[in-house]
Amino acid sequence: MSRAIELFARMHEVRSVTADERGHQTLTGDVILAVFGKVQHKMPLGMDLLMAKYVHDVPAANRIIDVMATWLNDESLKRKDLAMALSCVALDVFCDKPVASQKRQLAALWRKYSDQAKRSNRLIKRWQVKIKQLQRNIDNCETHAAEERLLFAINELEALIIKERRRIDEYAQCQSLKSLTCPRCSGTGLILNTGECSSCNGHGLFVPSIDNIRQHLRHIGLGRVSDKLWESELKPLFEMSLTKIYVYSQDAATEIAHMLELEIRP
């Protein structure tokens, strides 16, 4: 991450008021925000892209989608509905969000390897051991009332297990929407004492492939796409949209860096 982008992200954090370098203040918050304002006025799309990616700004993302819709007006397309869907996927890819075909795999990894999942699994195992103990005690009950108390305790523990599994499943689903980072290796691509992470093949990330993008259309209910339509129209359009997004965002980041450099110079 460049220094300009680092400052951009930090200045949008709740507690950020200044930016400094090695303890010596070189730029005040007011100056940095003024630079952002100038670049926003000069390059609104580029700044919205940075806001969407690094600050997760929803209104900025909506403005980007509106702009991408205008790009399609200049294209002679057979399926503009699919083209618009792919443009939105291109924005998700730029913002490091997984596409639909990857979310299930990511959710499964979060459900198995996250710290939350490990704590839940330990808790569930303790409850399961307790249930087995109570079940064995039922055979030794001398009264119906005692047996009823044990059965009630078992039912309570089983309800807790169901609730905990539901909670960790919801957590995994939520996390799978946020990041492409592999939960098993935490983005390093390596597993301690094992070597390359087999879940992400050592990449640390689940970067969508072209095949993932094509599968995404089926996952969101738009149906199958013929090879001819995909190769002749949709794939080139997706690549064009993604290229434009990166160009606009990089131009804005470069302009921020340039203007901040001018502010630092005496």
Q: Tens digit of pLDDT for each residue in 100-113?
A: 778 888 899 999 98
Inter-residue contact 168 to 116 (CB < 8 Å) = yes
What's the sign of the alpha-carbon dihedral 110, 116, 118, 124? negative
The encoded tokens of residue 57 equal 């700004």
Q: Which of 131, 69, 100 is nearest to 214 (CA)?
A: 100
Q: Is the confidence at residue 80, as pLDDT, over 80?
A: no
What was the pLDDT predicted at 14?
A: 46
Reported confidence tier of residue 7, pLDDT bands at 50, 70, 90: low
Residues 33-62 as b or e (16 or more Cβ within 10 Å = b): eebbeebbeebbbbbbbbbbbbeebeebbe
Tens digits of residue pLDDT in 148-170: 889 999 999 999 999 999 999 99
How confident is the model over 84-91, as a mean pLDDT?
88
* pTM confidence score: 0.67
What was the pLDDT predicted at 8?
A: 63
What was the pLDDT predicted at 46?
A: 93
Inter-residue contact 136 to 210 (CB < 8 Å) = no
What's the sign of the alpha-carbon dihedral 169, 171, 175, 181? negative
The count of other CB atoms within 10 Å of the CB of residue 197 is: 20
Mean pLDDT value across the chain: 83
- Lowest-confidence pick of 158-162, 220-224, 238-242: 220-224
H helix and E strand count, the chain: 11, 4
Instruction: Write the DSSP symbol of residue 208.
Output: P
The encoded tokens of residue 214 equal 């094509």
